Structure 1
């Protein structure tokens, strides 16, 4: 995969932001761009966070657990800002020990997809057999959720990209599950940081790709105070190739995220504009085929 975005693209995106003009009106009829609310966790109250998301043009969000409020309050705020829910990040411990409560809450807010977002160090396998065992556990959890009309998905970081005799921990985990019991939310930036090619994983697991987390890597020495993450299109990843691969078969939800933004509003707007441009190009390319 080409690792460096063309300078011309970055210039176009930056120029559009400076001029305050959008690059396009719509990313394509079959595509949705959502915002991961973890990005805004340091922005005031939940009310203020939803307002920022809506003002930036988002109509859908991915939640972090219960967002610290009751289902009734969450429903009220979502309705107030006309936001839909694509999914919710739910810790593995909650699925293990609070399954009934987790199901009830998500049913109450109309959410259908629960994503395991992160493995605590104690839960991270250290060998191939461990990754397979974890896959089997997630498969069972996903089967249980399906009986309640919910879908389980898994979100990667970099540690799943370690290889064991040619297969990553991520692949070992996924291959130990059934497609109907575990969907995928691939984080391209973390895949790249783990030394793997996000395009390859997207193509391999296109039938499972529910969502694609969208942020970029800036490289060491740049944005060090933001965990070296950047808005989509302003870093090292070739988002034209990533989006093209995703749109060929999966057409996932694109979830804008940044782990430690200094200016959250500017970053989510920049990422959304860049994604819209890439999706428009992919849409035009597909119509010309």
Structure 2
């Protein structure tokens, strides 16, 4: 049924697909960055699990063209119930791309190095089939958010980054707020400081979640870029509810993004993704549409 619906849009899809860069070589060697409106698919995860085709088509109609994937299944090398090959075919047929993925590294903190290496190898299989330039570490469970974890985390990230780099892709770390709350009493460094200062910039890039930087209120996106220029190759852009401080649609919250966004060139920005992980005004897709409209009206000129 979804594919029959697509026929109504086939002319536009074919035209747009001809204009899009393809392959990892072009993604890494483009002399001038041309940003596409991106979305983190965790924001519409239930819709994606139910029908990837119709969900991606709806997002395309809103103006989104590039995505960060979520929900990788390592044993089957699949996304949203589709093999990596079939999911890539879906993106291609719709004239869309995926540039990064969030992968479930956190459980492997308690496993052997061999098990972590094997998981990374599976992630690489999926990412290469999707032709996503980046593999991203997205999260840690609450019980893992300790000073001891952050003391050993940089070495773990460097090892993963080396494995990913040898395979021809790049690795990135995505922040939340807990990284800023964990502080080494002997050095005064936060968990985020440790990640930034003790990882190899060539092996471990950073994906800055601006909501969480703002929520933690220890620094600002512009201050981070000024201190670590070129390090923040990806951004997550989502707003913060004025009362609950939960997620909300862009323009409905307390983050003044026109003044918050750093300079993309100084940041080293390659890709950005709008995201809203919950607290939807009505539904995930309607929130995605509202955020896209706000972005086009108020933020697109920044890029």
Give the Cα separation in 2 of the matches to 1:276 and 1:191.
Answer: 23
Change (3 A) 1:166 1:269: farther
Give the Cα separation in 2 of the matches to 1:106 and 1:249.
Answer: 24
Give runs of aligned pairs for residues 210-249 of structure 1, distance below 5 A: 210-221=233-244, 228-249=246-267
Corresponding residue of 2:76: none
Offset of 1:78 from its aligned partner? 0.7
1:115 is paired with a residue of what secondary structure? strand
Corresponding residue of 2:16: none
Corresponding residue of 2:43: 39
1:173 is paired with a residue of what secondary structure? helix
1:234-257 residue CA offsets vs partner (Å, 9 max, x unmatched): 211121122244454433422011
Structure 2 residue 181 is the aligned partner of structure 1 residue 177: no
Name which of 32, 56, 75 aligns with 1:50: 56
Give runs of aligned pairs for residues 182-197 of structure 1, distance below 5 A: 182-196=204-218, 197=220
Offset of 1:278 from its aligned partner? 4.3
Give the Cα separation in 1 of the matches to 2:178 and 2:152.
Answer: 16
Give the Cα separation in 1 of the matches to 2:250 and 2:263.
Answer: 16
Corresponding residue of 1:133: 152
Name which of 119, 135, 147 aligns with 1:114: 135
Change (3 A) 1:123 1:76: same
TM-score normalised according to structure 1 size: 0.78
Offset of 1:54 from its aligned partner? 1.1
Higher RCO (CA < 8 A, seq sep 6+): 1
Structure 2 residue 226 is the aligned partner of structure 1 residue 203: yes
1:207 is paired with a residue of what secondary structure? coil
Give the Cα separation in 1 of the matches to 2:143 and 2:81.
Answer: 25
TM-score normalised according to structure 2 size: 0.74
Aligned-residue CA RMSD (Å): 2.3
In structure 2, runs of 5+ residues without a counterpart are: 1-31, 73-78, 109-114
Q: Quick check: 2:99–2:132 contact (8 Å CA) kept in 1? A: yes
Offset of 1:204 from its aligned partner? 2.5
Change (3 A) 1:115 1:214: same
1:40-68 residue CA offsets vs partner (Å, 9 max, x unmatched): 11223222221221121111111012333
Give the Cα separation in 2 of the matches to 1:60 and 1:70.
Answer: 19
Name which of 170, 176, 199 aligns with 1:157: 176
Give the Cα separation in 2 of the matches to 1:60 and 1:157.
Answer: 22
Give the Cα separation in 1 of the matches to 2:80 and 2:144.
Answer: 23
Corresponding residue of 2:65: 59
1:264-283 residue CA offsets vs partner (Å, 9 max, x unmatched): 22322222233334444435
